[in-house]
Structure 1
Amino acid sequence: MSQFIDDVNQRTQMVGQNRMELLLFHLGGSQAFGINVFKVREVIPSPPLRQLPGSMSLVRGVATLRGRTVPIIDLARAMGLRGAAAADTGAGQKVVVTEFNRAIQGFLVSAVDRIVNVNWQDVKSPPRGTGTDSFLVAVTEIDNKLVEIIDVERVLSIVNPLPTEVSASLREDAASQQARKIVIVDDSVVARKQIEGAIQGLGFDYQTFKDGLEALEFLEQTAAEGPVRDVVELIISDIEMPRMDGYTLTTRIRDNPELQDLKILLHSSLSGEFNTDMVRRVGADAFLSKFDPDELAVAVLDQTRHPDRPPG
């Protein structure tokens, strides 16, 4: 299974086509869960773990993987599925080693199934009342069975909460700068809250949307009522989202004469040169890896600066 990462360059061909690949796995039961392959470095048998005194109970320990110390998180326990992973400990467990939000961590799972190719249009917001809905960003159907796509950013935020407050010097810079509404597009509740905290720190107005299609519909409606640049200053968009991803959203904006001049900052938990290349290909103005409030604030101030606009 770890060999699939070697084929990542082939998988990039579908990016920009509103498609992704999901790694399917289980957490001790029949329910299938998914994570975007681009977040996954490798899948390995559960390695020997060293316990860390004082660590959270959902961190099962740390392992040395390829010369790095990596925390191993019990994903079932983190999501509140008590008994699922505990009943399935021992031989056969796998660790899904992931990289996102500038960190490497492993998720302990009971079994790994396979990789599937899906269209973002077939990925929907999660239904409420599933019991795990607060840890889901989306659901889709594979072979007539529901697959729950996990908000791994929320899981990681439990183990390693990230700051959202912008430094005082940047708040002072923003005080002398005017900006229209900032549009925030992200399917993760945690990510939206992090971005909101930074934008609030700058004192700018904002509006949030949970996927690219929802944001595009808002922009098109705004443009129908008058010049969209009179209302919207900047779009901060995630890349991985149900219904319409950030690359497709950017392409649709650039193809629309009434929207094409809008500034777009792609803000993703995925990092690397691949994303930088895709930013240029789809026509976004900048790319930033999640999440550092000051770095986001600097990027927002840079994209919203108007030398010809008087302060006030």
Structure 2
Amino acid sequence: MAGILDTVDQRTQLVGENRLEILMFRLSGRQLFAINVFKVQEVLHLPKLTLIPQRNPVVCGVVNLRGQTLPVIDLSQAIGMRPLTPSDKSTIIVTEYNRSVQAFLVGGVDRILNLNWESILPPPGGAGRAHYLTAITKVDDQIVEIIDVEKVLSEIVPMSSKVSASKLEDPLLAKARGREVLLVDDSGVAMNQLRETMAQLDIRTHSAGDGLKALKLLKLWADSNADVPNKLLMVITDAEMPEMDGYRLTTEIRNDPRLQDLYVVLHTSLSGSFNEAMVKKVGCDDFLSKFQPDKLVDTVRKRLQMLEDQGKI
């Protein structure tokens, strides 16, 4: 399955249609799990594994793949299940998240499936494995659990939300104090990072766990005669979310005359070249890879500069 990825042009056909493709696989049992195909580079048998000293317990070792050294993460152990035993017959899924490439050791790959985000639901509450899920869906009467890879990776290499002191000294950022932004993300890790970064700018935040909830909130404000594009400095939205993704959310915003002038920033762990095509298609104003607090502040500054140039602040 090494060639599972389509071209950028083909993949962007799903954008704005509220659809996604998932790669389904098993870990240490019969339960099916999945991740978004957009984040997968390839699937292959485990190359020669090299152990490394003082590694995180869920990191099996590293492999060399076409000159690139990649960590191999036991995804089963990382989400609290029985560890897998690596062998030359093992399967790895090579992925790119937040500008980093890593391989996940899995029990075996099942298939790729094209779904509508409306069939993807938030995970059930409670402890256990749900702690590592962003969503669930049902395929052939079987529950498929979609893993929160951002959380898995953040526990191996913690993400910082601290903004550089030199960034915060910018006098233009003083005009951000008291402004409001809407944050849209289904990942608790990403949402906390956004809130903590915004708090350093004294920006008030509203939040929604998926695009549909965000759209309902925006329309509620508009129905109450609020000038929503003026109320919010920007909307910062994830791409992939249950029920309604960030691309469809942007499309819906652009189709509502009361909301269409909102400044929308796509904030995602998907690869940059792919998102540049997607941003252009759905009409986002900007794109930012996740877990870059300084660049997030740069995005806020860019928006403030636009408003200042327009005489609106």
TM bin (shorter chain): over 0.9
**1:172 to partner: Cα distance:** 2.7
Q: Does 1:35 align with 2:35?
A: yes
Which residue does 1:126 correspond to in 2? 123
Moved over 6 A (4+): none
Q: Which is worse superposed, 140-149 or 92-101?
A: 92-101
Shift of 1:179: 5.4
- Residues 1:190 and 1:76: Cα distance change in structure 2 (over 3 Å): same
Tell me which amino acid in the other structure corresponds to 1:201.
Answer: Q
> Residue 135 of structure 1 aligns with which residue?
132
Q: Which structure 2 residues correspond to residues 272-311 of structure 1 after superposition, within 5 A?
A: 272-305=272-305, 306-307=307-308, 308-309=311-312
Query: Deviation at 1:28?
Result: 1.2
Supply the distance in 2 between the matched residues of 1:168 and 1:250 (Cα, whole angstroms). Answer: 33
What amino acid is the match of 2:74? D
Partner of 2:212: 213
Q: Deviations over 1:71-115 (max 9, x none)?
A: 00010111111x2x33x5435421000011000000000111000
Report what 2:262 is aligned to: 262
CA distance in 1, matches of 2:65, 2:26: 22
Give the letter for the 2:208 counterpart: F
Q: Which amino acid aligns with 2:66?
A: R
Q: Deviations over 1:100-147 (max 9, x none)?
A: 100000000011100011100000000123621110000001111100
When the two chains are superposed, the root-mean-square deviation of aligned CA atoms in Å is: 1.6
Question: Which residue matches 2:196?
Answer: 197
Q: Which amino acid aligns with 1:199?
A: M
Q: CA, structure 1 residues 159+43, in 2 after alignment: closer, same or farther (shift >3 Å)?
A: same
Task: Give SS of 2:21's match.
Answer: strand
8 Å Cα contact 1:164/1:293 also seen in 2: yes
Alignment partners' CA distance in 2, 1:222 and 1:195: 22
Q: Indicate the percent of aligned positions where both proteins have the same amino acid.
A: 46
Aligned length: 307
C-alpha distance in structure 1 between counterparts of 2:128 and 2:236, whole Å: 30
Give the gaps of 5 or more residues in structure 1. none
Report deviation, 1:211: 0.3
Alpha-carbon offset, residue 198 of structure 1: 1.1
CA distance in 2, matches of 1:187, 1:67: 35
User: d(CA) in 2 for partners of 1:6 and 1:278?
Assistant: 15
Cα distance in 1 between the residues matched to 2:304 and 2:189: 24
Aligned match of 2:10 = 10
Question: Larger deviation: 212-221 or 91-100?
Answer: 91-100
Q: Deviations over 1:146-169 (max 9, x none)?
A: 000000011111111121011122
Distance change in 2, residues 1:290/1:130 (3 Å): same
Q: Secondary structure at the match of 2:95?
A: strand
What TM-score comes out, normalization by structure 2 length? 0.94
Deviation at 1:291, TM superposition (A): 2.0
- TM-score, normalization by structure 1: 0.94
Q: Relative to structure 1, is the Cα distance of residues 89 and 184 closer, same or farther in structure 2, using a 3 angstrom cutoff?
A: same
